[in-house]
Structure 1
């Protein structure tokens, strides 16, 4: 059931709003269509569902937003028990393609917004205000559109993209990146976005190649380094936990014991 779906006829600009909408899906609701808008950005507020974009299928379990582009064939399917609710805005304009090239939005179908994302707040403000008031000035929409573009550019900037080595397989590059950055906060969705591959595709190919999922491999790297540091340094367990990227001692201790059968302290004592 669409709570709102409004198309705009705002005076021409370099980039302008073309539509906005809010939709609460019904259980098992499914429908398909061909995208006519230049660019449509959705935010999944809650619930679950499946979206098929051309020949690629995604579950909302792995992301909280998706991008539609003109000409794509799209099928939505709401979950039977917990159908999703989405908010969206459409954009058009002569400078839109150039703007998208400066961001990670250009080559993606799905994405994860940051917690308390300014872009999400703006999408919801545009939709809510439109729902309440149908006599809003074009200038208000233009102001909000450019505020949204600024927020998107910051959140999905190209400087977060990893430049790929064309002579090396993407999965090998992800592997090397994890080995180098295991101590940093590594999220699988972000890794997939950085290397221009879907989360599900990365999961499948990484496991086929290395026998472990990316998440499992990250943990293995952390625990292996922790064992080395426990054996070769006098750093406290808390210091080691911090150095290998665990947020707190207790999470580290639990993960270490599950992996090795020893607590970090017991592991260190065994060689003395």
Structure 2
């Protein structure tokens, strides 16, 4: 209950837009001062190929591949493609809104500057890709899941200046992928492709760190989440199955019964009976 109270007091962030773009037009240009100030729009835009510039009243910042520019709609900044830069310009970006977003962005800019190093494989770049995938697939679990990913990305950006040269642990990357994607079906090959390491290497490192394979860890997490939902949610079993990453209720029922020895329906009925007694 205490966690729920804290979560309700914390201002929620939302993902207004998020995407990956390929730009072939050298006239690509935006003046943030002329863009709408509402809703709040704080942007992290990462270069994947080519380059982008961001002009503020003091200087021009050039973002090469693996670097990001930081800005807010309505402020006195402009961005585009440098004249001497090769095309295409490829980027990834997220537009974050919410009461706390401007202050967090100002703090990040104060800490890192308008240009942020966000190399391939960094936690921040992986979180950005995860947000893009969730946004495009409309697969955020709820507002809290969406807000948590936005906060986590911003915090990862704060840490980049201290950790960008530290090798990232493969087991931790795999765990983060599972926790961000457990609510949808995915294969270990999908995870390996996302992280950029072979499935066999991931499995070996994961088992060394957590004592189980990535598949077993994901199944255990889904079962724990399903048990919680069956205890507190009025949603039908088919919807709970979907929220826990199962393609259909039948496969969910088989996995749940194998784990707990009873069916999801029996678990739901037991929870309902207990609540009625209370």
Same fold (TM over 0.5): no
Q: TM-score, normalised by structure 1?
A: 0.44
Could you state the TM-score of these two structures normalised by the residue count of structure 2?
0.43
Tell which structure's C-alpha radius of gyration is larger. 1
